[in-house]
Amino acid sequence: MTMGRIRLRPLRAQVMVITGATSGIGLATAMRAADAGARLVLAARNREPLERIAEVLRNKGHEARAVVCDVGNEDQVRHLEATAVDTFGRVDTWVNNAGISAYGTLADIPLAEQRRIFETDFWGVVHGSLAAARVMRRQEGGVIVNVGSVLSDRAIPLQVPYAAAKHAVKGFTDGLRMELLREGAPISVTLIKPTSIDTPYKDHAAAHLTREPTNPPPVYDADLVADAILHAATHRTRVLSVGGGARLMTLTRHLFPGLSDLVGAKVFGDLQVTDVPRGGGGRHQGLFRPVGRGRVHNTSEAYVRRFSTYLFWQKHKTSIFVGLLAAAGLAWLANRECERRERERHRSRWHLPRRRRKHRRRRLW
């Protein structure tokens, strides 16, 4: 079936649904989208910070609606879908961002927690994507953005259930994109793959460790992921990775799978824990109840990268390629001109008009 033309609206004309909007990547995306003029439907489990964030945005003159929603519950996602359409009439971009995790070995993480991770991280993406597709089929199309992870390509110790869920997100996103292409639906589907990001992610995760968890370096700013999401909302693209480490891990896994497993086993476990003993008191239990106070960044990161060269390349690779071709063309023309001038100079040097001399023939007899 012929693919319908995908018409992507500018952000100032978009209605955007964002799940997991009360912290980290979701909150950073909401703030940037609101500043760009988008009308927002914000979803999360935690009512108090969710409504406070929506109120802050409205006080700044933005349009924002808060909807309490557990994305692992299909009925609640259908309610989110209906609320978005009833409030604004359509949905242009739907961002499936909500996610949870647990630190520990497979033997230590209870199966109930592993199932809960899949309910949110995988089934939440499925519920949101299907809801978005229903709405977008009835209108002129739209954009579905699913937030995966660098761990969509490479599993690591101590976060195996999370990595498995993100692998499933990648497979589902690729399959959804192909099905929509097959039926000709004008819907763009993008997978975002962040590496370690400066968010409260580890503070919200369950942790079955004796030491405090941490993000493996290098750590990137959450605003970079928000930038990637908003780029996907206005530019048709398959995948955007945030952080060069994402590409390096993927390449290593494909080119040297055995070495990649060995490095992962020896290195990535230690990179995820600090030397600080983990305290008790029921901390890090965001799997079964909402936690967090509505903040974008983690307060304990020592150094955070504010720029991703690899993301910049992905966003502007066409312009960069055209620019390089143009530069190569100009260099070729300049070289041709230099050669032409050099030839002219040599020609004028060896063909100057000479004073004619009369030579007498020497008589040989």
pLDDT (0 to 100) of residue 300: 66
The answer on pLDDT for 356 being more than 70 is no
Element (H, E) at 313: helix 309-350
Residue 89 backbone zone (phi > 0: left; psi -120 to 50: alpha; other: beta)? left
The answer on pLDDT for 365 being more than 50 is no
- Which one has a higher pLDDT value, 356 or 173? 173
CATH T-level assignment (fold) for domain 11-307: Rossmann fold (3.40.50)
Name residues whose C-beta falls within 8 Å of residue 271's C-beta, 6 or more positions apart in sequence: 214, 216, 217
Helix (H, G, I), strand (E, B) or coil at 321: helix
pLDDT (0 to 100) of residue 318: 64
pLDDT digit string, tens, across residues 133-161:
999 999 989 999 999 999 999 999 999 99
Structural domain spans, the chain? 11-307, 316-346
pLDDT digit string, tens, across residues 186-207:
999 999 999 999 999 988 899 9
> Rounded distance, CA 218 to CA 303, Å?
8
- Which one has a higher pLDDT value, 307 or 52? 52
CB atoms within 10 A of CB 351: 8
The answer on pLDDT for 1 being more than 80 is no
Whole-structure pTM value: 0.85
The answer on pLDDT for 293 being more than 50 is yes
* Residues with active-site annotation: 162
pLDDT digit string, tens, across residues 56-96:
999 999 999 999 999 999 999 999 999 999 999 999 999 99
Q: Report the percentage of the chain scoring pLDDT > 90.
A: 65
The answer on pLDDT for 282 being more than 60 is no
